[in-house]
């Protein structure tokens, strides 16, 4: 592990597909291989540790698969960003829904049934929203 105040070294790995898995070309270190891409960061870290006698965390390994259609990497990154944005929007919508339910109950003094009707949810959902 890096000493306090010392930044961990980051390693760049290009993963090239072959019939039995992936070749991992580690910049400035060498080449190893792995059967499935999901194991590439750990394999690269283990390989670097063996050669350099240092501890390397898989988080310090940046794997870039070499694909026939390079745009797919950008598409995958865009899809991940869209999912993160949707998750953030979902959290905000849930927070807003809880706030509205509380205000309808506390400020407007609506019953659970009336709050459910206004919000177009079940009475049970109103109870859940106002308990959180």
Which whole number is the average pLDDT over 91-97? 98
Query: Which pLDDT score is estimated for 34?
Result: 98
pTM, full prediction: 0.67
Give the model's pLDDT for residue 78: 98
**Token digits of residue 127:** 């109870």
Tell me: the pLDDT tens digits for 52-85?
A: 999 999 999 999 999 999 999 999 999 999 999 9
């Amino acid at each position: 592990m890096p000493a306090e105040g010392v930044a961990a070294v980051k390693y760049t790995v290009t993963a090239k597909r072959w019939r039995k898995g992936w070749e991992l070309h580690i910049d400035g270190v060498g080449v190893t291989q792995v059967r499935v891409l999901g194991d590439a960061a750990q394999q690269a870290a283990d390989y670097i540790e063996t050669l350099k006698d240092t501890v390397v965390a898989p988080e310090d390994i940046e794997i870039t698969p070499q694909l026939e259609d390079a745009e797919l990497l950008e598409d995958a990154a865009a899809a991940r960003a869209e999912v993160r944005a949707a998750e953030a929007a979902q959290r905000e919508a849930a927070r807003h829904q809880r706030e509205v339910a509380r205000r309808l109950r506390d400020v407007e003094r609506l019953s659970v049934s009336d709050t459910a009707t206004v919000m177009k949810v079940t009475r049970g959902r109103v109870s859940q929203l106002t308990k959180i």
